[in-house]
C-alpha cells in the first residue's frame, strides 16, 4: 500500500528518523540524538528534517566531538545542530531515548 497523503509521508519520515536517532550504535550519541528527536521532530520543517537526516549520516565519534565543543563541519553547522548542542548544554539534562 503506497502512501499518497503528503502528511502521512512526513509522519512516516519522522518515525524513521526517530528510530535511526535512537539506534546509531554509540550509546551517548543514541541518547542525545534520541532525546532531541523525540522533543523536536514533530515541529520540524522539511528543511530542518533534511538537516537532521544529514547529521544522522555523520559518524558517531565525529558528531560526538562536535557536541563536546569541537567545531562542526560547515555543512552541519545549522540551527538544528545548534539546538541539539543546546540540549547537551542544559543543566542536568534528562535523557529519555
pLDDT digits (tens, 9 = 90+) for 68-97: 999 999 999 999 999 999 988 887 767 765
* Chain-centroid distance, C-alpha 64: 12
Grid cell, residue 53, equals 537526516
Residues near 94 by beta carbon (within 8 Å), at least 6 away in sequence: 35
Q: How far apart are CA 42 and CA 13, in angstroms?
A: 11
pLDDT of residue 1: 38
User: Mean pLDDT, the chain, as a whole number?
Assistant: 89
pLDDT class of 5 with cuts at 50, 70, 90 = low
Please say whether the dihedral angle defined by the alpha carbons of residues 10, 38, 20 and 63, taken in this order, is positive or negative: positive
Q: In the chain, pLDDT over 70 holds for what percent of residues?
A: 89
Amino acid at each position: 500500500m503506497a502512501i499518497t497523503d503528503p502528511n502521512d509521508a512526513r509522519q512516516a519520515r519522522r518515525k524513521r528518523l526517530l528510530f535511526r536517532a535512537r539506534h546509531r550504535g554509540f550509546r551517548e550519541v543514541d541518547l542525545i540524538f534520541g532525546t532531541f528527536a523525540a522533543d523536536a521532530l514533530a515541529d520540524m520543517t522539511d528543511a530542518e528534517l533534511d538537516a537532521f537526516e544529514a547529521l544522522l549520516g555523520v559518524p558517531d565519534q565525529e558528531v560526538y566531538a562536535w557536541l563536546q565543543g569541537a567545531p562542526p563541519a560547515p555543512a552541519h553547522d545549522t540551527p538544528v545542530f545548534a539546538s541539539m548542542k543546546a540540549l547537551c548544554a542544559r543543566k542536568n539534562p534528562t535523557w529519555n531515548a
